[in-house]
Amino acid sequence: MFKSSVSALLLAAACAAATPAGAEEPIKVGMILEMSGPFADLGRQILNGAQAYIKAHGDTVAGRQVELIVKDTTGAAPDIAKRLAQELITNDNVDFLAGFGLTPNALAVAPLATEARKPMIIMNAATSVITTRSQYIARVSFTLSQVTAPLAAWAIKSGIKSVYTLVSDYGPGIDAETTFKKTFTAAGGKIVGEVRVPLRNPEFAPFLQRIKDAHPQAVFIFLPGSSEQPIAFMKGFAERELNKAGIRLIATGDVTEDGVLETMGDTPLGVVTTHHYSMAHVSAQNRAFLKAYAEVAGNGVRPNFMAVGGWDGMAAIYEVAAKLNGQIDGDKAMEVLKGMRIDSPRGPLVIDPETRDPIQTVYVRRVQKVNGKPYNVEFEQIPDVKDPGK
């Protein structure tokens, strides 16, 4: 009896002694990403971006090492994402949840972040509603509504009065459609037709023909980046000679994202899009990002806005760790995140203290060749855009 209580005491003492030693433990970041399956390109971009940040800034912050624990959701799989988050929280005891390329995966994990009081950094998923699902979510990417509204305003300003909309039939697509319609019609524009195409849709020909027959001045599209759809749409658009019929193509930057732009050939030249990041953005931060990215991913692999999301997510995590002296606590971390300013490769970004969504500059860009390669060249900017979807 006596003996066992002595050993219990010893054990307790050992535990107490272990606490300061715990500071030597790495800061664990659980990355829930789409590393295989149809969206594997997305997961790879985000992870490369995050690793590039670590490479450029060293793998220790506030005296603690930073460790990424990568888990693969295999695609849009809420059940798997939820299970992976559970594992990360209970087994690995992570300090941050991060990643999330796709909305459904982020939504599935949100309640767990609240329950475990773990800060959850959204590096890509762009549906407005995500940040309302948990007080512990902060987003460093963008929302579809945020980049769509400036496009509608630009279209009106450029004399476009009638638009046909075509979007993918899921959360972000519907956000884009709703925002575009609202902004465009409020300013006196007319929507002559709208269609939502299924996420799995290998054939755009009939939709394109329908648009051509409706003779709008422009067609607005949102299709998920890093998939075959923007390429297929662009090809069809050129094949059917919609441009020769006087129909302009305007889109969110997902459609002409930097990673896929080269495989589209000459068809997207002249297409106008709005987005928050372009590889061609001129700034010291972007140059540093591109250099570090090439070191991680290899030369010739083009990063896109998702990679920047990964980079900025890590920037936020480093900042939190530095401010809290390496002692990560969920609630304190959220206080640091609210209102945080990040000097991103895309330009400055502030996390809105109220919605925990980014407030940032949205750029109007045109696809152009620079030194023989296609880029989204920014020619106008709208500063401090908040998410209008809330």
Query: Does residue 38 touch another protein according to CB under 8 A?
Result: yes
Query: Interaction with another protein in 129-158: which residues (CB under 8 A)?
Result: none
In this complex, which beta carbon is closest to another protein, that of residue 55 or of residue 196? Answer: 196
Query: Does residue 220 touch another protein according to CB under 8 A?
Result: no
Q: By CB under 8 A, which span of 19-27, 39-47, 355-363, 370-378 interacts with another protein? A: 39-47
Query: Does residue 188 touch another protein according to CB under 8 A?
Result: no
Q: How far apart are CA 273 and CA 225, in angstroms?
A: 13
Dihedral of alpha carbons 319, 225, 130, 384, sign: positive
Q: By CB under 8 A, which span of 125-133, 235-243, 335-343, 358-366 interacts with another protein? A: 235-243
In this complex, which beta carbon is closest to another protein, that of residue 159 or of residue 198? Answer: 198
Q: How far apart are CA 143 and CA 329, in angstroms?
A: 27
Query: Does residue 197 touch another protein according to CB under 8 A?
Result: yes
Query: Does residue 165 touch another protein according to CB under 8 A?
Result: no
**Quick one: which of 55, 133, 235, 338 contacts another protein (CB under 8 A)?**
235
Query: Does residue 246 touch another protein according to CB under 8 A?
Result: no
CB 184 within 8 A of CB 250: no
Q: By CB under 8 A, which span of 9-17, 81-89, 102-110, 232-240 interacts with another protein? A: 232-240
- Say how far residue 365 (Cα) sits from the centre of its chain: 18
CB of 212 to another protein, least distance (A): 9
Q: Is 347 left (phi over 0), alpha (psi -120 to 50) or beta?
A: left
Query: Interaction with another protein in 254-283: which residues (CB under 8 A)?
Result: 259-260, 263-265
List, in sequence order, every residue forming a beta bridge with 26; answer none if it has no partner: none
- 20 CB-contact burial (10 Å; exposed 0-12 / middle 13-18 / buried 19+): exposed
The amino acid at residue 373 is K
Number of C-beta neighbours around residue 245 at 10 A: 12
Going through the chain in order, the beta strands assigned E by DSSP cover 27-33, 60-61, 64-72, 96-99, 120-122, 137-139, 162-168, 190-197, 218-222, 248-252, 272-275, 341-344, 347-351, 358-370, 373-385
CB of 77 to another protein, least distance (A): 14
Identify which of 320, 321, 315 has the alpha carbon closest to the alpha carbon of residue 344: 315
CB of 169 to another protein, least distance (A): 8
**Quick one: which of 79, 115, 203, 329 contacts another protein (CB under 8 A)?**
203
Query: Does residue 239 touch another protein according to CB under 8 A?
Result: yes
In this complex, which beta carbon is closest to another protein, that of residue 40 or of residue 174? Answer: 40
- Write the CA distances from 379 to 159, 289, 357, integer angstroms: 17, 21, 25
Dihedral of alpha carbons 307, 316, 140, 132, sign: positive
Q: How many residues bind another protein (CB under 8 A)?
A: 34
Query: Does residue 210 touch another protein according to CB under 8 A?
Result: yes
Q: By CB under 8 A, which span of 16-24, 33-41, 63-71, 342-350 interacts with another protein? A: 33-41
Q: By CB under 8 A, which span of 63-71, 95-103, 190-198, 313-321 interacts with another protein? A: 190-198
**Quick one: which of 61, 153, 231, 296 contacts another protein (CB under 8 A)?**
231
CA angle 247, 252, 258 (to 5 degrees): 105
**Quick one: which of 63, 111, 206, 270 contacts another protein (CB under 8 A)?**
206
The side-by-side arrangement of strands in the sheet containing 120-122 is 60-61, 64-72, 27-33, 96-99, 120-122, 137-139
Instruction: Write out the residues near another protein by the rule CB under 8 A.
Output: 36-38, 40-41, 44, 195-198, 200-203, 205-207, 209-210, 213, 226-228, 231-232, 235, 239-241, 259-260, 263-265
